Structure formats: C-alpha cells, structure tokens
Amino acid sequence: MTHKRDRQATRTRLLESSRLRFARDGYDGTSVRDVAGDVGVDPALVFRYFGSKSSLFTEAMAGSTAPVVLPDGPVDELPAKLMHQLVFEDWAEYAGEHPLIAMLRSAGHEDMKDRLRQQVCEGYLGVLSELAEGNDDKDLRTELFGAWLLGIGILRTAVGTPTLSKATEEDLRPHLAAVAEALFGRPIAD
C-alpha cells in the first residue's frame, strides 16, 4: 500500500499534480488520465471529487491566487518587487513560471481569458496604479508597465530569447528603474 486512504490528502495531491500539468501543458494538453496517473489513482476518482475536468481546472488555478501575495511597502519599491515575483521567483509547482504566465498557455478558452483579465486588473494593475498617481492617463501608464513585465516573463519562459533568458535580476535592475521613471514620471528605487 503506497498511501493510506485519505480523501483530503488525495484531493490535495490531485490538485498539485493538475496545477503543474495545466501550467506546463495547458488545459487541452492535460488529460484527466495524466493527472490521475501522477497520483497513482484511477481517473474516475477525479470526476468523483471534482465533477468535471473544467471544475478541476478552476479549483486548481483558483488555489493559485492565494499564495500570490501582493507586495506592500513603499510604492517606489513596488516595480522591483513585482518584477522579482513575476520574472525571477521560482514557482516550482507551476512548472517554474509565474501562475499568470502559466495561465496564458490556456487562454484559448473564453472563461480562462476572463479569469486572467480579472486577476491581472484587480490584482497587479491595482497595486501598480498608485505609482501613476498624478498623471492624466494613469490607467494607461499602469497597464503599459504591466505589459512590459509580462512581456519579459514571456520572452524568458515561453519564447526563450537568448540574452534575456540568461539575464539576472541585477542585470535588469537599472533598466527597470529607467523605464519605470519614464512611464510614471517619478523616481523609482532600484
């Protein structure tokens, strides 16, 4: 007997496995049989616990919002903190990518797109918008900075561009400060 019979533990292991596979292979690229196989359990059990594949997906990715803590502290340190989290932090359980970038892999489905947008807007853009305070086109500047961080993450992980893939956080720091100042019109801590 490899594992005791424990509904909660099995559920958790299924969620962890599906989180990894959904992130790495996308929604369509992940089969219920794969996930069940990882845990060493019958695929039918997944449906008994989660009802459907899409419900499993929802629950797996919903659990992803919780561990993503939005940084606080002085606003001028926010860009560096966000970049660290989005680009450099090691999200092992999401195939090494930030959950947002991982979710992008499944953005073909419309409900996925909605969830992504909501998470980006209410979460990251909300906290960033403080930085653009005082500008007329505050929201636009905020989204433009968010686009930059997202693009960096994508070039590093999904495209694998040569220089950026090998760049360290210190390599990016000065450019982060320069771009943030250009967009927000205020000094930014590097």
Partner DNA sequence: CTCCAAAGTCATCGATCGGTGACTTAGACC
Partner DNA sequence: GGTCTAAGTCACCGATCGATGACTTTGGAG
How far is it, in rounded angstroms, from Cα 78 to Cα 84? 10
CB nearer DNA, residue 31 or residue 165: 31
How far is it, in rounded angstroms, from Cα 54 to Cα 114? 14
* Contact call for residue 157 and DNA (CB under 7 A): no
Segment interacting with DNA, rule: CB under 7 A, options 1-9, 90-98, 140-148, 163-171: 1-9
* Contact call for residue 48 and DNA (CB under 7 A): yes
- What distances in angstroms separate CA 27 from CA 8, 116, 154, one per listed residue? 24, 14, 18
Nearest to 61, CA basis, from 115, 5, 127: 115
59 binds, among its own copies, DNA, none (CB under 5 to 8 A by kind): none
* Contact call for residue 43 and DNA (CB under 7 A): yes
64 binds, among DNA, its own copies, none (CB under 5 to 8 A by kind): none
* Contact call for residue 152 and its own copies (CB under 8 A): yes
30 binds, among its own copies, DNA, none (CB under 5 to 8 A by kind): DNA
How far is it, in rounded angstroms, from Cα 71 to Cα 68? 9
How far is it, in rounded angstroms, from Cα 114 to Cα 90? 25
* Contact call for residue 7 and its own copies (CB under 8 A): no
Segment interacting with DNA, rule: CB under 7 A, options 2-10, 67-75, 78-86, 161-169: 2-10
How far is it, in rounded angstroms, from Cα 78 to Cα 58? 29
